[in-house]
Amino acid sequence: MFGLRPALCVLVCCALVSPVGQPRTTAVVDRFEADRAVLVTDDGRMVTVGHEALPPEARHVDAVVHVALAHGTLVSAEYDASETRRRAGRARGRLDRLARPLVPPGNQS
């Protein structure tokens, strides 16, 4: 029978390496550097992973992925196509507004 100390050691080791129950966060593919992808999480952290760790459909700049991280290492990544499209549309809208010519007050038609 196992004693308390070995059982606790097994629990701690499993907690350090197990992806089960890892908190998930949202990240965006910011850029690629050689064969590495740089992700920026919604809370501002930067995580660098091998591009092969991403789902194939998420291997492009501005892809939105839901990730699980353990000690700064990517455990899982799931591409979110609808959120990627939504964020791209918002960015396009902002750029369109910025590109409109400014009309001085009183000259509006």
* N residues, the chain: 109
Give me the pLDDT at residue 7, please: 56
Nearest to 68 by CA among 13, 18, 10: 18
Whether 32 has a pLDDT exceeding 50, the answer reads yes
Residue 29: exposed, middle, or buried by beta-carbon count in 10 A (0-12, 13-18, 19+)? Answer: buried
pTM score > 0.85 for this model?
no
Residue 102 pLDDT level (bands cut at 50, 70, 90): confident
Q: Name which residue leads in pLDDT, 33 or 5.
A: 33
Name residue, tokens 């990627």.
Answer: 84
Give the chain's mean pLDDT.
Answer: 83
- Contact partners, residue 96, CB within 8 Å, separation at least 6: none
For the chain, what are the domain ranges? 21-99
pLDDT digits (tens, 9 = 90+) for 38-87: 999 998 999 999 999 999 999 999 999 999 988 878 899 999 999 999 99
8 Å CB contact between 79 and 64: yes
Architecture of the domain whose range is 21-99: Beta Barrel (2.40)
Give me the pLDDT at residue 13, please: 53
